[in-house]
Amino acid sequence: MNILVYPRFFIFLCLLSSSVTKESPPIVQVYSRTPGYLGKPNVLICHMSNFYPPLIKVDLLNDGKVMTEATETELSFEENWEYYMTKYIPFTPHKGEEYTCRVTHMGVSRLFVWEPDT
């Protein structure tokens, strides 16, 4: 009887691992909570979704310097085992400053720039 259980369990593990081992880079959105007007307090948000595996590092930057007081949500996943998370920080954008989100997934870093509305 045990001989039949182990092969079934092994087949289950193989099927499970083959369905979740695909590598998928994150879809990244950088935006502000309210319209982004210079000189007006706001919240800078960087949302990453649809990525796997869940090995990700996210930094919010002001002119290339890490904004250390940012808050990060818990890493969560969808039914298809793709992950999502959000990092955010209160900020007041000023003319001439660049706000970016640096996402490193699977050793590859990419920068995403926040664009003000004015």
* pLDDT tens profile 64-75: 999 999 999 999
pTM listed for this prediction = 0.80
Note whether residue 68 is domain-resident.
yes
Average pLDDT of span 35-57: 96
pLDDT of residue 15: 42
pLDDT at 32 over 90: yes
* Residue % of the chain over a pLDDT of 70: 82
User: In this structure, what CATH number is given to the domain that contains residue 36?
Assistant: 2.60.40.10
Note whether residue 47 is domain-resident.
yes
Note whether residue 4 is domain-resident.
no
Convert the chain into a string of H (helix), E (strand) and C (coil): CHHHHHHHHHHHHHHHHHHHCCCECCEEEEEECCCCCCCCCEEEEEEEEEEECCCEEEEEEECCEECCCCEECCCEECCCCCEEEEEEEEECCCCCCCEEEEEEECCEEEEEECCCCC
Residues 48-95 pLDDT 10s: 999 999 999 999 999 999 999 999 999 999 988 999 999 999 999 999
Tell me the average pLDDT of the chain: 87
pLDDT of residue 1: 45
Task: Name the domain count of the chain.
Answer: 1
pLDDT of residue 22: 82
> What range defines the domain where residue 65 resides?
23-113
pLDDT of residue 21: 55
